[in-house]
Structure formats: C-alpha cells, structure tokens
Structure 1
C-alpha cells in the first residue's frame, strides 16, 4: 500500500458523527466492480455507526443529476444526507466515449461540491483496464470504496467542526 493510501485510511479527525447519514449513489454499468466499491463503503459506514442509503442509476454520466436530485428531494424534510458518495467505473474503450463520460462526471461532481451545502465524494474509477479497476478493490491501490467512506466521514467532521468553531 502506498504512503498516500495509508494517510487516507488514517481515521484521525473523524469526529462529531452523531446523526450523520450518507447516501451512496452508484451505477449499474460495470456492476461487478461498482458493487464492491459500495460494499467497501458500507463496511466503513457500519463500523462508524453512520446511517446510509443506496440508490442506483444506469451509468456514470447520470451520477451528477442523481446527486443533485437526492439533495433537492430531501431538502427541508429532515432526511437530508450529511454527505453523498458517487460510485462508478468507466473503463477505456476504443472510442472517445471514455473521455466524454469522464470529463462530464468529473465536472458535474466538482460543480455539485460548489453548489450543494454537503460534500459530494468522487468515487468514480476512471481506468484503462478491468485489471486496474480490480487493483483498486483492495489490491495494490487500496480499496477505493473504503476510501470514499472515510473521505465522506472526514468531510462531515470538517464541516461540523467548522460550524462549531464559528459559533
């Protein structure tokens, strides 16, 4: 495991999770990979006692829309998530489709992080081969589903700590 992964998996700074909730939005496309990302995220959220829900969309291109709709549909209901984690896997093919999808989902998630009052975590694997994807499910590059959960928890803690310090 790289030094980067070890630092990310350090749970220092995960505080103030009372009442926190996470929504995982994940894709049907490349489900043999994406389902394991979701499973890893779910394991970490359960370890920290954080409630969560899962919602599925067809592909990575649809993730930004789904994340925005989750926030819009829960706004003012008391059921708003503390964070949203978007999971997908785009594997390079023979056409420029890969580039279009990767650019669109990256830009979409970036824009949501500017617009929404909760963090939207980028859990989309953008890889050249299926082997590279499976290496990110607990192999040489860590488990990106677990890392997505820890990132969400750290961002929830960051936001809550910031709010407390401003009071």
Structure 2
C-alpha cells in the first residue's frame, strides 16, 4: 500500500505570498517569518513574489489569480483578523478561510492559510514572532510540504497511467 507524505526538501518552482496590509505590524512580521523559513529550507528569496492586498477579506481573489497563473507551486496567504466589538470578525475570518480553500480546490495549487484569527492584539503579536513562534514561518513550511506531497501524488498518478492502471 503506497503511503504519501510530503517532506521539507527544497521543491522546484516559485512561490507567491499574498499579504494583507490591515494589521500591518503583525502581517509584516508574518512575512519576515515566512521568508526566513523559506530561505532556511533552501528556497531563495528571489523565488518568492509578494502581493499586498488591503485586508484578509481580499486575500482569496488575489490568491486564486496567482494560483491560476501557472507560475507558482503554492500560494501562501498571510493576514490578521482580531476580534472586535462587532460581528465583523466572524464574517472576515470565515469568508477569508472559505475563499482560500475554494481557490486551492479550484486550481489544484496549494493555497496556505496563514491568517491569524485572534481575540487580542497581544495574541496576534505573540503568534507573529514574539512568544509563540511565527505562524508565517509555519505557513512557509506547510507550503513546502504540500508542494512535495502533491508532486509525489502526481508522479504516482503518471506512473499508474503509464502502467495501464
């Protein structure tokens, strides 16, 4: 029984990062962590393209456009939605998550959800590098792992097709 599992070896191809400007202090730190993780895993900074959008709600349309371009092995989306006093948080966070999943499924390109959804600014800062690691770096690792996993699966499908299976 074949088992497929991605690894963290440097994959081929370019990567797109779509980052939200809203809560920029957090998203800029997420982007720095993302870039650092890529470089530490053998993906040079010149293989990354960054697109800035106004907020997390706008991530899905740009992520899908970049995935559809055929230029990227994966698209990493970075944003930060902090709960406020209204229901705005629920709408933005939910629509961003659903939109990014739809973009990935529609294109077959891994679209990584690197959007922080926190209760407080302190939690967001902690998850962007202060105390709880950097979720931008974790998103880069997820992208590397997914690209390698998808390559294995696609390679197996080609081998099966050639073997008449």
Residues of 1 paired with 2:129 and 2:51: CA distance?
Answer: 23
Please list every run of 5 or more consecutive structure 2 residues that lacks an aligned counterpart in the other structure.
Answer: 1-5, 160-165
Please list every run of 5 or more consecutive structure 1 residues that lacks an aligned counterpart in the other structure.
Answer: 1-11
The alpha-carbon deviation at position 143 of structure 1 amounts to: 1.3
The answer as to whether partners of 1:83 and 1:152 remain within 8 angstroms in 2 is: yes
- Inter-CA distance 45–16: structure 2 relative to 1 (3 Å threshold): closer
The alpha-carbon deviation at position 158 of structure 1 amounts to: 0.2
User: In the comparison of the two structures, how many residue pairs are matched?
Assistant: 150
- Inter-CA distance 48–15: structure 2 relative to 1 (3 Å threshold): closer
> 2:34 matched to 1:41?
yes
Q: Which residue of 2 aligns with 1:117?
A: 108
The answer as to whether partners of 2:10 and 2:144 remain within 8 angstroms in 1 is: no
Q: Which deviates further from its counterpart, 135-144 or 82-91? A: 135-144
Instruction: Map 1:64-143 to 2 at 5 A.
Output: 64-72=60-68, 74-75=69-70, 80-143=71-134
Q: Per-residue displacement from partner, 1:86-121 (whole Å, max 9, x unpaired)? A: 000011111111111011101101111211121000
Q: Which has the larger radius of gyration?
A: 2
